[in-house]
Amino acid sequence: MKSPKKPMDHKTLIRNIQITTLILVFTTAGSFAFFSLSGNTVNVSTFYILAVAFIARFTTGYVPGIVASFISVICVNFAFTYPYFTLSFSMDGSPITFAATMIIASLTSMTTTHLKEKNRILNEQEKLLMEAEKEKMRANLLRAISHDLRTPLTSLIGTSSTYLENEESLSKEDKRHLVQTIYDDSNWLLHMVENLLTVTRIRQTDAHVTKSLEPLEEVVSEAVARLKKRLPDARVKVSIPDTFIMIPMDATLIEQVIINLLENGIYHSGSSEPMELRVSIEQASALFQISDHGHGIQENLLSHIFDGYADTPTTSGDSRKGMGIGLSICKTIILAHDGQIWAENLTDGARFSFTLPLGDEHYES
């Protein structure tokens, strides 16, 4: 059931009148100039039909276009049909010409208005779909937060409690192990907070990022260096093009994506083999591929692994580091860069890939 149309407000009415008047006055002045220079009135009707189309395009509702159609026909008959400056329908064919011009102008107005209204509805539907997608991502992110942060917090509390309650009886090695666990969990929580700040930053700018041309080699090197600060034992094989390439991006955010995907492979692949990071240029995009040599991803998780909640068992039994927040942030960042991101299984592991558009201003040498 269609909702009843709201009455036109005073501001819109005044705007419609102003636009209609301005276009009709401009068209009439132009028609007089054309008539004075050429003495030809044949094309004047076309000028007014074009004016009606513009009025229908830039006003609201059907009425301005229909009214403009009627006024246009009157103007053509009064000022550009012999006898001039007299409304006359007595000449043979004049009533038919009047009616035909009126119908053509009215149909042009209604068609233009209909297309504009249809386009408005499509835009509103697209906005609703985008809002629904944002709400879905927000819900998934909250669910991922509750999952990924609760476990390390519980571990911190339990480990510190064990240390405090058994400090006198613990050996030096046990104490070091407990402190190391507290350190690892705290570092993981810090990483999660960085991810949350990242997604907050993007949402505050309405899912858009400020891009600048960044050297590909430096971005990849910085991401790997930051990863090794957090995980000194991490091993990564890097392969990038030999040419110097500048890509439009927010370097900090893309480094965060690379780190998240590398950490995901290190923690969840169940493999001790080095991670592989390969970058290539494919048509108008830079293609980043992060691969591991582990047990792969469960097939039922592939389709929604970036939606904000994903947890797979690892061979190490370390369940405190879920994939939810990190992969959700990766998707948010890449979509904000107008790129694509996906995951797939290989014969001996899994591969996460994402693209970044090169844009018109990228530099390659």
CB 163 within 8 A of CB 175: yes
User: What is the value of pTM for the model shown?
Assistant: 0.55
Residue 57 backbone dihedrals phi, psi, to 5 degrees: -70, -40
- Residues of the chain with pLDDT below 70 are 1-8, 88-102, 105, 134, 137-138, 140-148, 195, 198-208, 308-325, 361-365
Looking at residue 11, its pLDDT comes to: 85
What CA dihedral angle connects 133, 135, 325 and 323, to 10 degrees? -60
d(CA 287, CA 351): 12
End-to-end CA distance of the chain: 60
Looking at residue 312, its pLDDT comes to: 47
User: Which element (helix H / strand E) includes 39?
Assistant: none
Looking at residue 202, its pLDDT comes to: 66
Mutual angle of helices 94-165 and 172-204, in 10-degree steps: 170
Looking at residue 208, its pLDDT comes to: 63
d(CA 298, CA 312): 8
For residue 48, give both structure tokens: 């007014």
Looking at residue 3, its pLDDT comes to: 47
**Domain boundaries defined on the chain:** 10-127, 136-364
**CATH fold for domain 136-364:** Heat Shock Protein 90 (3.30.565)
Residue 42 backbone dihedrals phi, psi, to 5 degrees: -60, -40
d(CA 94, CA 97): 5
DSSP 275-338: EEEEEEEETTEEEEEEE--SS---HHHHTTTTSS------TT---SS-SHHHHHHHHHHHHHTT
Among 71, 87, 91, smallest CA distance to 79 is for: 87
Amino acid at 123: N
Looking at residue 357, its pLDDT comes to: 92
CB 241 within 8 A of CB 279: yes
Q: What are the pLDDT digits (tens) for 103-153?
A: 776 777 777 777 878 888 888 888 888 778 767 766 766 666 666 677 778
Contacting residues for 26 by C-beta, under 8 A, at least 6 apart: 51
